[in-house]
Chain A
Amino acid sequence: GNSVTQMEGPVTLSEEAFLTINCTYTATGYPSLFWYVQYPGEGLQLLLKATKADDKGSNKGFEATYRKETTSFHLEKGSVQVSDSAVYFCALSAGSNYQLIWGAGTKLIIKP
């Protein structure tokens, strides 16, 4: 079946460090891939998405490339800020009803 696996957190970095949060998936067909972000005490917001192989989604300095050969959609940012501290969820949309399949989330902590 369809599934999403994210790296376990928390991930703790210093401000201005390079960020990678790994996400791999298993899916039949050609899923769409998403990263959502959840700031403390809030709901989730869409951060970026990619709908086909080799697409790159980007937003607010974050990027992720849809790699079909490695079934991955890793989230990257070149220089993180304290305000990026949040929980990041990778998700895919596939199957007959296109319901989202969610990863477990990765908590990111950025220290000044």
Chain B
Amino acid sequence: DGGITQSPKYLFRKEGQNVTLSCEQNLNHDAMYWYRQDPGQGLRLIYYSQIVNDFQKGDIAEGYSVSREKKESFPLTVTSAQKNPTAFYLCASSEHPGLLNEKLFFGSGTQLSVL
């Protein structure tokens, strides 16, 4: 079955440590996205990529970095500069970036906590 796989499901970060969240899709979608979800809040866009080797900052990119070296992979690194990283992180993809009524497909998320 096609879909989006996020790993790990749970991740713990120590002070001053960088951690990387994995996101892989086999839907052959061009666009991929990273969202942060905090309790009682809507999703906030961290980074997005509409094509391989290109990505754009979202609303809350500070303290995060991404790469898009392969179409199917879009890893997110939470750096030590992100002072409040505890949140649920969601990866998504879409087939046709830039369309007004485009549907997003989501992974099952990674819960990141600080030790």
Contact = CB atoms under 8 A, between A and B. Distances in A.
Given A43-B109, A44-B90, A44-B106, A49 B101 contact: yes
- Tell me if B's interface is mostly helix, strand, loop or mixed: loop
- Give the most central of B101, B107, B108: most A CB within 10 Å: B101
Interface residues on A, range: 20 to 34
Nearest to A41: B108
Interface string B98-112: 111111101111000
B42 A46 contact: no
B106 A45 contact: yes
Contacts of B48: 99
A100 B104 contact: yes
A43 B101 contact: no
Interface of A: 4, 31-32, 36, 41-46, 49, 51, 89, 91, 93-94, 97-100, 102-105
